[in-house]
Amino acid sequence: MAKSRNNLLGVGGQRKKLSRAEQQGAGSARGADRKAAEDKKQELVRKMRERAEAQAATTAEPGEQGTPSAQS
């Protein structure tokens, strides 16, 4: 069936259904899951930066050792 353009029911968005625990103020597990995912992402970014810095330091060392006049 074709979608009716004259029916504006629900145009403003819909509220999500609250669980019984959320209604009583216990909060959702979604917030904790998001926090855990953000922590994992931050840890991964930190590790990647450390590896990149170590890689840059490793590639920069031979060039610095080969030119003693550059340090004078």
Rounded Cα gap, residues 70 and 68, in angstroms: 5
Rounded average pLDDT over 4-20: 70
In this prediction, residue 34 has a pLDDT band, given cuts at 50, 70 and 90, of confident
On average, the pLDDT of the chain sits at: 77
pTM of the model: 0.45
The token pair that represents 14 in the structure block = 């819909």
Instruction: Give the C-alpha distances (Å, rounded to integers) separating 44 from 5, 35, 47, 49, 53.
Output: 47, 14, 5, 9, 14
- What pLDDT is attached to residue 66? 52
Between residues 5 and 32, the one the model is more confident about: 32
Tell me if residue 6 falls in helix, strand or coil.
coil
Domain locations along the chain: 28-58
